[in-house]
Amino acid sequence: MRFTIDDERRSEFDRRQLKAQIAFHDGRTSKDRREGAERRNVFVQDKYLRSVLDAFPSPVLIVDHHMQILDANSRADELIDSETDFYLHRLCGDLLHCLHAKQSEGGCGTTEHCPDCVLRQTVNAVAAGEKTFRRISQLNMEKHGKSLRQWFLISGSEFEYMDQKNVILTMEDVTEIVELRRLIPICANCKKVRDDNNYWQEVEKYLDEHTGVQFSHGICPECVDEMYGGQDWYEKRAKK
């Protein structure tokens, strides 16, 4: 299958990136797949590397510079809804249920949205020499016939193993934190926050329970004036 792109809507850089992706799609041979399988076997046989990957609490992908998945941890299996052996050597967008990839005949790497993909930008940045690249972005996915929007903190770093330079991607789901930041029901008078059970609680307790954020307390200058203004010791101190 040959893929097409609308060159009128691309910068020169984007056109080069997409043409390289198209060449990758069209030029893959059984030898390419066999070599990929051999790299996968190396990852599987290294039990230490496998245990480290699976210890991560978030999905982790090891990809090459073409966005092809070489390995993944067990949490990535849960995100993708498949076992690792099924999706190895396929492209990120196709496996992560990217809505744009599903809507394109060519799939991942051939849509007009691909240059804006945070995963692609991360891989390109690391390939260009960035030691670590991090960005929060929303991923639009379609799973089991339903459209999903989730926010992820995507982190990418170079991962060199067995003389191969690849990229390790970590995907931390920060949807709850982003949604909390967007809309929290708070009392206009006492500033207590209403939780999901319609209980009102101090904002410190609410954020601690939902995000793990803890507060250190102080007093702002306006409140200090309101609390202690008029007292001799405070007036003397204020004049110094």
**Best mean pLDDT range from 25-29, 78-82, 112-116, 193-197:** 112-116
The correct answer on CATH 3.40.50.720 for the domain covering 7-178 is: no
Q: What is the pLDDT of residue 7?
A: 44
Selected residue with higher pLDDT from 152 and 177: 152
CA 44 from centroid of its chain's CA atoms: 25
Secondary structure of the chain: what % helix, strand, coil (to 5)? Answer: 45, 20, 30
pTM of the model: 0.59
- What DSSP designation does 61 have? E
List pLDDT tens digits, range 74-130. 888 888 876 555 566 788 888 888 888 888 888 888 888 888 899 999 999 999 999
- Tell me, what's the pLDDT at 125? 94
**CB contact set of 75 (below 8 Å; sequence gap of 6+):** 54, 56, 57, 58, 59, 60
Domain boundaries for CATH 3.30.450.20 within the chain: 7-178
Q: How many residues would you count in the chain?
A: 240
